[in-house]
Structure 1
């Protein structure tokens, strides 16, 4: 059979009902953890002025923009990340809120890069930021939140690690070796790709700075090169019982140019894929975007939906937890009405309306069908119960689809009874 004429563009996704349910699982988990930590939700536009991202992001980002001129002649792009947008919003509205700002957003981003495992051209990101706090306690709070987010998805100690580094340590390293300030971003890009590039390629690039691979490797291996900020973060997380998840790794620098201090990335312990999440401190970005009109220290991190989903699907306990959630929360309805006697359809419609008004998700067949076909449709819908409406009215039969058991109920007080029943585990209702 010939392929459909129109398909989703490369790197873009269709979200079928199951895909939407998986996405909702990720979103609800993200929101739950963020709110537990006292963060509030905000939202920024998907379309932004291109210069917002060219001003300070640096690295490869400028070549990955979905960029075009709009009908008003403005140079605009689909946002490739959210931090710059947040900095713009914070600079404009920061006087309206007490500091520090603890904000999060779940939003879609776009980058024109090669689609591969864990990476597409459109993706959703969970962005969590603290603005207006310069001390390492804010960095520790975000690292702790990243750890609890992973645990909320069903990952345990040994499944993942947070690798923490200090970008300022590398800037000091470059300054002591007389690397021109203008070339420091180029140097940091080399460090950022240490694990991904071949050693001979890295060595050749470092030689242009008068450096050797051995010199850089020795710097990474020496824990004394970490700043006092890392020590404070380590003590903070130890007090929270999270020290086993923390690892000092000075090879982490992050690719975006606006990072200024502590940076970190979350990796699965097997390193089977790219970083699950990453972020760090960006104390000068708000000031840069506001042209000095608002100086505000800031730190944050982001987690994308591609990588975390891949890791969930490759981890048995996390996958099982997601499947249980999908079974409970991803179903089209809780109750599917089965019409055993077609002359009772009007009664069934009245029951349907009553249950929906009570907030119970329910459905029924549009046309006449055999009982077995209706019960099969009930199972396909993901409903927990099939409510059989037949000639016995006002008596009804409730079929528990998971256990294939039955219970009797009555039209009178049905909505309240079902509301209580939905709170109980599947199985016969105890007298």
Structure 2
């Protein structure tokens, strides 16, 4: 039998699990500050939940099968359809705006590459029932605050933002037929990743004249001020510029303006997003997008649910883990051993007292281990050192006047005459060296 997991899947040994726990704890800590509630759904859903949103072509990317009840089902490749289904089922009774988040494990049968596996965990943050642009600013500020809590700065990460409605207004102003917008979006989406000549060829093949194509090719270099100066008087553009200006003002008030870069090439899902969209990238350009999201006001209605405005983002654990490790910022949320209980084997009642000591210290909140077989004292202490204990509690005998000695590196031994006093000390120090 192979000793390796399936391609694109991961084993989480304690060291890797501790890193994953650190990512999860940071996600939860930050998102809860914004008053979002955690939810979850089933990892197996009806196949039609995904084909209804993304079309039949998504089936090639799924782990899908016919279950024993003859139902077409799939392992969830994303969380938003489940979220939409759950919100739609109780839309009339939920307090608006709905502010929910989840940390699902997702599955996609696709080619593995750097930053993309066949399974990953993802933070999903979604809001339903609010159309004001302040909700969009609130959403992006959550993603940026998460970066801060990981120890990253605006010198490490940049949020690239755009607005599909603004882009639509610009295309309309340029008299580009709506039937060609999808082709223009596809070129903008790859503008950084393909030669300018190839982008021009694709625009020409779509039917754009060279002058209009040159304007489109210049979108990637235009900041917000330039767009305002050039198109601010156009009736089909101005309302979207005004709304986006409000969005930027909210982001400044929320203290994240230095992280923002206006970028018309951020398009995201063509049939999915309807308004402001964003993606976070490392400034070096070493990794895939750290996270992405935006406004998707039509999704709940399209899935047969309530007609409510909605927005959200997803942030996977693979890319953020790679980024943190590359910057020396990955921490471990593993359980560090605090106290090792050792006993004097010469005393007949010491083993029982050692177990009572371990139980009491655990009840006091300490992380405690001891040898599970009889050993000489020096062997016990050596085992504790290898286990990484920060303090050793040496138990003598219940008949001794001071049965407990605490030994720590760089400190004189501390003597305790009662188990209550020892537990009080352990609770106050939690094994620290203070």
TM-score exceeds 0.5: yes
The corresponding residue for 1:333 is 337
Other structure's SS at 1:355 match: helix
2:246 is matched with which residue: 229, 232, 249?
232
Unpaired segments ≥5 residues, structure 2: 232-239
Cα 1:382–1:41 shift into 2, 3 Å:
farther
Once the 2 structures are TM-superposed, how far is the Cα of residue 88 of structure 1 from its aligned partner?
Answer: 1.0
Please state if 1:44 is matched with 2:51. Answer: no
Once the 2 structures are TM-superposed, how far is the Cα of residue 409 of structure 1 from its aligned partner?
Answer: 2.6
CA distance in 2, matches of 1:333, 1:310: 27
CA distance in 2, matches of 1:261, 1:185: 15
Once the 2 structures are TM-superposed, how far is the Cα of residue 117 of structure 1 from its aligned partner?
Answer: 2.0
Cα 1:240–1:355 shift into 2, 3 Å:
same
CA distance in 2, matches of 1:143, 1:405: 52
CA distance in 2, matches of 1:74, 1:10: 27
Unpaired segments ≥5 residues, structure 1: none
CA distance in 2, matches of 1:306, 1:198: 29
CA distance in 2, matches of 1:307, 1:257: 25
Cα 1:58–1:203 shift into 2, 3 Å:
farther
Q: Is the 8 A contact 1:48 1:76 kept in 2?
A: yes
Q: Is the 8 A contact 1:339 1:388 kept in 2?
A: yes
Structure-1-length-normalised TM-score: 0.88
Please state if 1:253 is matched with 2:267. Answer: yes
CA distance in 1, matches of 2:315, 2:155: 19
CA distance in 2, matches of 1:95, 1:380: 58
Segment drifting more, 12-21 vs 385-394: 385-394
| Runs of 4+ deviating beyond 6 Å | none
Segment drifting more, 213-222 vs 125-134: 213-222
CA distance in 2, matches of 1:152, 1:315: 14
Highest Rg: 1 or 2?
2
Cα 1:285–1:394 shift into 2, 3 Å:
same
Please state if 1:270 is matched with 2:277. Answer: no
CA distance in 2, matches of 1:168, 1:59: 27
**Residue deviations 1:217-237, cap 9 Å, x none?**
223334326633321111011
Cα 1:65–1:385 shift into 2, 3 Å:
same
Please state if 1:426 is matched with 2:433. Answer: yes
1:67 is matched with which residue: 54, 64, 69?
64
In the TM superposition, what are the counterparts of 1:113-192 in structure 2 within 5 Å?
Answer: 113-174=110-171, 176-180=175-179, 184-185=181-182, 187-192=184-189
CA distance in 1, matches of 2:384, 2:216: 63
How many residues were matched structurally? 410
Cα 1:390–1:21 shift into 2, 3 Å:
same
The corresponding residue for 2:29 is 32
**Residue deviations 1:185-232, cap 9 Å, x none?**
555344323333454544443333123663322233343266333211
**Residue deviations 1:62-97, cap 9 Å, x none?**
532112211111111111111111111111112232
Other structure's SS at 2:206 match: coil
CA distance in 1, matches of 2:109, 2:335: 34
Other structure's SS at 1:146 match: helix
CA distance in 1, matches of 2:401, 2:181: 79
Structure-2-length-normalised TM-score: 0.87
CA distance in 1, matches of 2:143, 2:340: 39
CA RMSD in angstroms comes to 2.4
Once the 2 structures are TM-superposed, how far is the Cα of residue 336 of structure 1 from its aligned partner?
Answer: 1.9
Other structure's SS at 2:8 match: coil
Cα 1:361–1:367 shift into 2, 3 Å:
same
